[in-house]
Amino acid sequence: LRMIAGFETPQEGEIYFDEEPITGISVNKRNIGMVFQSYALFPHMTVAQNIAYGLEQRQLPKKDIAEKVKTALKMVHMEEYAARKPKQLSGGQQQRVALARALVTTPRVLLLDECLSALDKKLRVEMQAELRKILEESGITTFFVTHDQEEAMTLSDYIIVMNNGVIEQIGTPFDVYERPKNSFVASFLGKANFFEQNGRLYAVRPEKVSVSKERSENTKKTGKVSFITYSGNITSYTIELKDKIIVAEQQNSSEKSLIHKGDEVYVGWEEISQIPLEA
Tens of pLDDT along 187-209? 998 899 999 988 889 999 999 99
Q: What is the pLDDT of residue 197?
A: 84
Whole-number pLDDT of residue 10: 92
Q: How many CB atoms lie within 10 A of CB 131?
A: 23
* DSSP summary character for residue 51: H
* Res 15 pLDDT > 90: yes
Specify the pLDDT at position 279. 67
Q: Kindly give, in sequence order, each residue whose CB lies less than 8 Å from that of residue 138, ignoring residues fewer than 6 positions away.
A: 75, 103, 110
**pLDDT single digits (tens) 128-163:** 888 888 888 888 899 999 888 888 998 999 999 999
Residue with more model confidence, 241 or 135? 241
**Predicted pLDDT at 115:** 82
Convert the pLDDT of each residue in 76-128 to its tens digit: 889 999 999 999 998 888 988 998 999 899 899 999 988 887 777 887 888 88
Class of domain 31-157: alpha beta
pLDDT for position 253: 75
Domain ranges of the chain: 31-157, 192-276
How far apart, in whole angstroms, are the C-alpha atoms of residue 125 and residue 116? 9
pLDDT tens profile 209-236? 999 999 999 999 999 999 999 988 899 9
191 close to 206: Cβ distance less than 8 angstroms: yes
In the chain, alpha helices (H): 2-5, 47-57, 62-75, 91-103, 121-138, 149-155, 173-178, 183-188
Q: What angle do the packed helices 121-138 and 62-75 form, to 10 degrees? A: 130
Specify the fold of 192-276.
OB fold (Dihydrolipoamide Acetyltransferase, E2P) (2.40.50)
User: Predicted confidence band at 254 (pLDDT cuts at 50, 70, 90)?
Assistant: low
Measure the CA–CA gap between 247 and 204, rounded to whole angstroms: 10
Amino acid at 122: K
When comparing pLDDT for 58 and 253, which is higher? 58
pLDDT at 257: 66
The reported pLDDT for the residue numbered 255 is 63
Reply yes or no on whether the pLDDT at 40 is more than 90.
Answer: no
pLDDT at position 223 is 96
Whether the predicted pLDDT of 265 surpasses 70: yes
Give the per-residue pLDDT at 273: 93
The DSSP code sequence of 68-124 is: HHHHHHHHTT-GGGTT--GGGS-HHHHHHHHHHHHHTT--SEEEEESTTTTS-HHHH
pLDDT at residue 252 greater than cutoff 90: no
Quick one: pLDDT at residue 6? 93
